[in-house]
Amino acid sequence: MGCDLYIKDLPREAQYTGFEVSQESVNVGYFRDCYNSSGLFSWLTDNTGMEFSWWQLTEEKKDDWFRDDEEEGMLLTVRGAKEFLNLLNIAESIIVKQHSYFKKNLEIKNGKPFYKEEKQTDEEAMKYYEWFGLLLQFLNTAIKRKSEVIWSV
């Protein structure tokens, strides 16, 4: 089980090619996070002191970021996607500010390396960073296309 996000105006048949988080899936308008301790939102919670939960976000922002659609269910509006992106940018700034590791290595990894405090290796940290980058790219694509996001949480 996990959170599945789909950019509404991209072909759905291309988005159902698998449940793997990858550049290819984001390119066709699909993003996934798992609901367990190895998920992206769990990593963000661990490294920011902020609470990241797909369900909580849906509940707290239901009237501001989302609209209900009879056919598709819950949809993240374009305005909601912008607000979500702003929230993720705040999380990113907290992560970078809290760890001297990031400050030392900002130029090495596209300016945005990430590190989990629980003795995470650089390789593991970069996998989360790449995953986080895919979510940012996914949201930016939806915003640029002015498309709502099908929010299957």
Residues in CB range of 10: below 8 A, 6 or more apart: 28, 29, 145, 147
Task: Give the pLDDT band of residue 21 (cuts 50, 70, 90).
Answer: confident
The residues near 3 (Cβ < 8 Å, ≥ 6 apart) are 32, 33, 34, 35, 41, 54, 152, 153
> Counting Cβ atoms within 10 Å, is residue 113 exposed (0-12), middle (13-18) or buried (19+)?
buried
Asked if residue 106 has pLDDT above 50, the reply is no
Q: Which residue has the higher pLDDT, 142 or 123?
A: 142
58-83 tens-digit pLDDT = 999 999 999 999 999 999 999 999 99
Q: In whole angstroms, what separates CA 20 from the centre of its chain?
A: 14
Question: Is pLDDT of 114 > 80?
Answer: no
